[in-house]
Structure 1
Amino acid sequence: MRPHVDQRQAQVLALVQARGSVRVAELARELGVSPVTLRRDIEAMAARGEIHRMHGVISRLEPGRIPAVPPAGAAGGAAGRGVESGHRGGPSGASADGLVIGMVVPTTEYYYAEVVRGAREVVEARGARLTVGLTRYLPGEDRTQADRLLSTGADGLLLTPNWDSGSPGPGEGAWAAELPVPTVLVERWAPPGHPAAGLDRVTSDHAHGAARAVQHLVESGHRRIALASRETPTSARLRAGYEAAVAALGLAPAPAWPTAGPGPLSDAEAFARTLDYLHEAVAEGGVTAALIHSDTDAIMLIPRLQARGVRVPEDLAVITYDDEVAGLADVPLSAVAPAKGEVGARAAGLLLDRLAAAGTPHESPRQHLELLPRLTIRA
């Protein structure tokens, strides 16, 4: 063992003996080492019967406590945890026993229910534990939840910040790049030059999904296609893909989306504006098809359009985006479905691989993964 490792472990033992117990995340910050490095020390010390460990906390052994007998090779750090050789020579699929993965998401309902499920399945299959912090899109709550998860012993973070357009605005979000543990952005992206642009990230390619919907509608004979979407973290990428496809396919432009007013719209006002826009686009703008984000808006809009004399699909063919409930409409709707569960699974796997390889020659370059949404056509 190298002298500095001996010294660090002796310091850990002294602090635990003095305090009784200490959180791993707090101890890592105090010693100025990464949580992964410290956890390797803790595994070796626990295997020697010097300390007791549980989720996120280590404590001194009380008199009479019999330390658990480690499996053969457990004191060997990463080599004793069954690291398997994976793609690109990295430790893909390595055991992550005892690791705690924190996940910050806006909600565990609707879209993110599947993202969290995908992450949880991979984390638990690898022997780790997932803990979740919710932000409800409240300003500043993303950082608060990240700090809370770190304070309770998270070894790495899956992070969906509250960035209104899906990417940070000027001066926003730099804190995400300064977190003391490996971090993967989930369904968020940072532009080149932003501090968080160097983080691993896994996202849905929403621009591709929108373009694929436009392409299908053109193949069905439509030449003037509208996009109707409220302002969400997804809408900027949808609009980019939609506009690129309209230009690439030489389509006639749809009427411009109405200019936003001076202040934020209520949900009722935003819905009414979308309804008015689509009605006028069909009645006066020559639009015959639309991509509507999201499914729930489409299901509510269609009967109101029909009440105004717009027949669906005869006058307006509709494809929705998200595919959460599109198949449950009275007339099932064709829809573009991001691979939500797979996004969570890939992000969790990437983070666990990053943790397993930290400080070893197997560390791979940072990755930006974009998963293509799937278009489902329904009669």
Structure 2
Amino acid sequence: MRESAAERHDRLLALVRERGTARVADLATLLGVSPVTARRDVEALAAKGLLDRVHGQVSWPERPERPEHLGAGARRSGEGLVLGLLAPSATYYFAEVIRGAHEAAARAGARLVLRISDYRPEEDRARTEGLLAAGAEGVLVAPGWRGPEDRLGYGDWLAELPVPAVLLERRADPGTPLDALDRVVSDHGHGVLLALRHLLELGHGTPLLVARGDSPTALAVRAGFAEALDTLGLEAPGPVIDSVPADQDPEGFERAVRALHEAVTSGRVSAALVHNDVDAIEIVQRLADLGAKVPEDLALIAYDDEVAALADTPLTAVAPPKRQVGRHATELLVERLTETPDEETARRHLSLLPRLRVRSSCGAPRGPRSA
């Protein structure tokens, strides 16, 4: 994929910030672009005040301290603050997170600057450096990790940021530097438990899980499912069915649908939890083609609740508190930026509970559940 100008600018800013001062010719070599392109990039960034340029060299601008004449009341309100937000996407799940952050920033009188990583964790650091270069005094960061290997390979730099940072919808391994950061997350384990309890109360046996494995949310749903089974004293009716996007892997999607269809028609299961909404809608449609209907033959709950209500048969869904995650994280960041050294509060790990929105896809109660 060809690198955009914005992405190249982020890399350039990261290089200058790391070095303090750099020659334009050296930047061209490091970026792998022509001297003309590097010079144009430098001119564009210098015009925005993001770099200082003198005689063929550029340097990281010295930023003045926050004006004392504003007074403690103005500073404590958050008015005039610039906040950075790095998100892996501006659509689907994270659209609501971003909306909540923007609303909270506006209420505090702060400006929110957004950068998108497109789930490329190797670009997270440069994107965040770009936010700092744009004047961000603190950052909200949802790294583009897809699995534990990304967290290990592209996570340590977060703990070294020179400004306050709050992790969004991402957890860190206990005892690591990242674990010392503030964070605000959805408790996906609680959401899964809500779904299983609802299906059991309707008289179904242990549900089957159909889930992706390509994002922190998907992995948290899988882990939450195992924990919920243990909490409820249940055994899974079969292995987790690996879900994949139908448009990206049609054969893999068909295998997942066929595996679920077999579990239903054999009488092994009468209920399932599916991550995420889009997969759930497409699975319901394909199951109908094969003769298995929701909710008549299968009670189904989707996870995410982005588009679940728009299905032909509106889907019951677990709804993580996405907007509240963005709001609470922004409020926490503003608090960090406006507190005085003598009142600094303890770091916080805030977990928000999802809700279950009941619609038509679970059908009516089936009566007493067999053991």
TM range, smaller chain: 0.7 to 0.9
2: CA distance, partners of 1:184 / 1:119:
12
Q: Decide whether the 8 Å contact of 2:209 with 2:241 is kept in 1.
A: no
1:39 partner amino acid = E
Aligned to 1:247: 230
Question: Closer, same or farther in 2 for the Cα pair 1:21/1:314, shift >3 Å?
Answer: closer
TM-score of the aligned structures, taking structure 2 as reference length: 0.76
2: CA distance, partners of 1:266 / 1:329:
21
2: CA distance, partners of 1:80 / 1:257:
54
Aligned to 2:136: 154
Question: Closer, same or farther in 2 for the Cα pair 1:270/1:344, shift >3 Å?
Answer: farther
TM-score of the aligned structures, taking structure 1 as reference length: 0.74
Q: Deviations over 1:91-113 (max 9, x none)?
A: xxx31122110000011111111
2: CA distance, partners of 1:301 / 1:195:
41
Structure 1 unaligned runs (5+)? 1-18, 48-73, 84-93
Larger radius of gyration: 1
2: CA distance, partners of 1:192 / 1:339:
24
1: CA distance, partners of 2:353 / 2:302:
16
Give how far 1:236 is off.
Answer: 1.5
Aligned to 1:324: 306
Give SS of 1:234's match. helix
Aligned to 2:357: 376
Q: Decide whether the 8 Å contact of 1:319 with 1:333 is kept in 2.
A: yes
Is it true that 1:364 corresponds to 2:345 in the alignment?
A: yes
Question: Closer, same or farther in 2 for the Cα pair 1:205/1:20, shift >3 Å?
Answer: closer
Give how far 1:171 is off.
Answer: 4.3
2: CA distance, partners of 1:363 / 1:209:
33
Give how far 1:166 is off.
Answer: 7.1
2: CA distance, partners of 1:24 / 1:139:
25
Is it true that 1:300 corresponds to 2:282 in the alignment?
A: yes
Q: Decide whether the 8 Å contact of 1:282 with 1:316 is kept in 2.
A: yes
Give how far 1:254 is off.
Answer: 1.9
Give how far 1:255 is off.
Answer: 1.3
Question: Closer, same or farther in 2 for the Cα pair 1:99/1:377, shift >3 Å?
Answer: same
- Where do 1:1-379 residues align within 5 Å? 38-40=64-66, 43-44=67-68, 47=69, 74=70, 76=71, 79-81=72-74, 94-165=76-147, 169-231=151-213, 232-257=215-240, 266-284=248-266, 286-357=268-339, 359-379=340-360
2: CA distance, partners of 1:224 / 1:20:
62
Give SS of 1:127's match. coil
Give how far 1:270 is off.
Answer: 3.7
Give how far 1:159 is off.
Answer: 0.2
2: CA distance, partners of 1:311 / 1:119:
39
RMSD: 2.8
2: CA distance, partners of 1:166 / 1:185:
15
2: CA distance, partners of 1:80 / 1:374:
37
Q: Deviations over 1:306-360 (max 9, x none)?
A: 2212121122100001111111111111111011110000000000000001x42
